[in-house]
Amino acid sequence: MDMKPLKSEDGYELWLRYAPVTDAPTLAAYRTAITQVVFDASSPTLRVAREELTLALESLLEISVPVVKQVVQDGTLVAGTPRSSSLIAELALQELPGPVGDEGFVIVSRPVRTRDCIVIAANTDVGVLYGVFHFLRHLQTHRPLDTLHIVSAPKTKFRMLNHWDNLDGTIERGYAGFSLWDWHKLPDYLAPRYRDYARANASIGINGAVLTNVNANALILTRPYLRKVAALADLFRSYGIRVFLTARFSAPIEIGGLSTADPLAVEVAAWWKEKADEIYAIIPDFGGFVVKANSEGQPGPHDYDRSHGDGANMLARALTADRGVVIWRAFVYDDKVPDDRAKQANNDLVPQDGSFLENVLLQVKNGPIDFQPREPYHPLFGSMPKTPLMLEVQITQEYLGNATHLAYLAPMYKETLDADTYCQGPGSQVADVVDGSLDGHAMSGMAGVSNIGSDRNWCGHPFAAANWFAFGRLAWDHQVSSEDIADDWLRMTFTNDEDFVGSARAMMLASREAVVRYMTPLGLHHIMAYGHHYGPGPWVDQGRADWTCVYYHRADSRGLGFDRTPTGSDAVSQYFSPYREQISNLDTCPENLLLWFHHVPWQHPMKSGRTLWDELCYQYNHGVESVRQMQATWAALAPYVDAARFEHVQDLLRIQEQEARWWRDACLLYFQTFSRLPIPLEYEQPAQSLDYYRNLKHYYVPGIPERRFRS
């Protein structure tokens, strides 16, 4: 390999660096295969696609690739739709108009006018843009060009980022600085970042952005803010991205001067209708509303003894099905309801299946509690066949080490998507529910809670951008493997050197499991510090019961874990057979979810032959060891990475190792007060006392408003 020092990079360019191809045979092949471009760009979207293509080619191939009018030589790249290009219309590709649909594309190498050409074609302009980005990924990952035949179309319709960004610039659960949206200077000043944000999203097929926090501020729906939103929407439009806003249910009172927000009150429905008309007058392609209602203190239809369906349908009528959708969040639970929090969404929503209007989707978190390092899949998947269910995952790492810990989350997203619900017999995966294929829904989608902020490298940790990338790739095609996504991202973000890619990929693939082990092994969950969720807090027993940790781990002198079998909360009954029986039985329940579903005696023999207590000690230590392994792997990769990014990752891994030990020691010491058993001597013993860990205080943890830290 080339040993000269690499120029420092700051991560701003993400996976769109278009680094020159240095491998000589690959470069030579590319320069032969691509000598000029025929690309008539008659619309804004085609123009940005052409610009991306030509700039990227020049950077990758380090030669100028002219745009010409006609195919006159071998190596011509032809791009467009049958409408934008008579050449493409003439080719009558069999994939058009059929399989690729409205957003897909085809990339083929074939003769055109007797010359060897590469054709990127789609039915729509945005399909061409996606095809261009796919082709550029192909080049960036040094794949061969000789026999191209790629046909690709997204499996879901709404592929969206949910920004939990507040109007004051803070981001709820954001760890990469402040909001990208500079509301104060909008609409007159459009930061260059907005365009790069749109490019990055388009490059992975993301087509929707919810600009505001689901804990919503009604002000976003006032005219001055709508003008700001319109400026962003205008910019994003060329990149195929529609904007959505969060609708605060009580907005008719707060900004509309009404005395009620009752969804069945005529004046309330009329207010929302007028508001929707106002929005569409300035943002003609406005996507719709995302709503968090009657959850964690947010207003909603229950305040008026109305159902979620009443609330969602009222907004859906205001938007109208030909204009936009209501995305109603299924993250609903209430501490006044005595039942297990894990069961509440099903209890509330399953009876309403079939009552939602055609332009309503329900957005369901991957698991029934809250983005924990590991959860079983949400039992709503498969339980509401008459309603389109979107999958919501968290890209920001609220419960997985913020932007300090390296945790590659594609395996976590895949775990949910690949899970078999058995709702229509074996092979009814969550992915089949989510993409609409199982129940024949035309509307489908995936939402990722964004980890993007104002940090120069966008996501804080240099590896955190991989999760943004992975989310987009999986929303487009949930069948791609975590390995392949990591592989692409590494090659595009760092280098194509096989030695680098091989070990960095292995490190990424093991990273999420490492976090599970040192934070919440064996199905433990929600044992983080109160409120900000930074660090361990298994002892938290004050405040709202369903926000404490003792609610979830249920440690006592007999054992550990939440009994959700029929002898306990019976949450297992919300799953279909045979999964239900599998998890109900202590002997067949997967051990990585054991303490989620069972209260298990400390001396219970685990599959390893260890007792539960010893296994817990083993898992926590294994987690810490895995981080040390990551440190060693990364140290060996120094020659392949520029100094700035190398040191950034190295420093963060050092913090991660410290925090993994903190988690291990604090949790084991705490659980030991119940088990009364020793931590086996083969393991490192805790560095401090339990009191020490319990008394640690952290002020101004990112991702939470300052006022929460005031006493």
Residues that bind ligand GCW (CB under 6 A): 164, 172-173, 214-215, 292, 296, 331, 370-371, 398
In the complex, the smallest distance separating the C-beta of residue 226 from ligand GCW, rounded to whole angstroms, is 22
DSSP 651-709: HHHHHHHHHHHHHHHHHHHHHHHHH--PPPTTSPPPSS-HHHHHT----S-TTS-GGGG
Strands 360-365 and 325-329: parallel
Q: Toward ligand GCW, which CB reaches closer, 163 or 505?
A: 163
All residues at 6 or more sequence positions from 418 whose CB lies less than 8 Å from its CB, including other chains = 429, 430, 431
d(CA 431, CA 445): 10
The least distance separating ligand GCW from the CB of residue 329, rounded to whole angstroms, comes to: 7
Q: Of 103, 262, 398, 420, which one is the catalytic site residue?
A: 398
Give me the least distance between CB of 371 and ligand GCW, in Å please. Answer: 5
C-beta closer to ligand GCW: residue 164 or 663: 164
Contact 328, 340 (CB under 8 A): no
Distances, alpha carbon 261 to alpha carbons 81, 357, 362, 410, in Å:
47, 20, 21, 40
Distance of CA 131 to the CA centre of its chain: 22
Residue with Cβ nearer ligand GCW (528 or 627) = 528
Determine the Cα–Cα distance for residues 66 and 56; give it in Å rounded to an integer. 12
Of 210 and 679, nearer to ligand GCW (C-beta) is 210
3-state secondary structure of 169: coil
296 is catalytic: yes
Q: How far is CA 52 from CA 59, 493, 569, in A?
A: 11, 17, 55
Which residue lies nearest ligand GCW, judged by its C-beta? 370
Residue 398 among the catalytic residues:
yes
CB of 331 to ligand GCW, least distance (A): 5
Q: Closest CB to ligand GCW among 157 and 292?
A: 292
For residue 115, what are its two tokens?
């010359």
Choose between 170 and 346: whose C-beta lies nearer to ligand GCW: 170
For residue 62, indicate whether it is catalytic.
no
Tokens coding 424: 């229509």
In contact, 141 and 496? CB cutoff 8 Å = yes
Residue 240 or 703: the one with the smaller Cβ distance to ligand GCW is 703
Q: Which of 116, 182, 254, 296 is catalytic?
A: 296
Shortest distance (Å) from residue 598 CB to ligand GCW: 25
CB of 260 to ligand GCW, least distance (A): 24
Least Cβ distance, residue 509 to ligand GCW (angstroms): 25
Burial zone of 533 (CB within 10 Å; 0-12 exposed, 13-18 middle, 19+ buried): buried
> In the sheet that 76-80 helps form, which strands lie side by side, from edge to edge?
67-68, 36-38, 76-80, 115-121, 105-112, 149-152
Token pair for residue 421?
A: 């619900």
To the nearest whole angstrom, how small is the minimum distance from the Cβ of residue 295 to ligand GCW? 6
Sign of torsion over alpha carbons 402, 295, 387, 416: positive
Beta-sheet pairing, 105-112 with 67-68? unpaired
Does residue 578 have a cis bond before it (omega within 30 degrees)?
A: yes
Q: Which one, 534 or 613, has the nearer CB to ligand GCW?
A: 534
The catalytically annotated residue of 95, 103, 262, 370 is 370
> Which positions are catalytic?
296, 370, 398
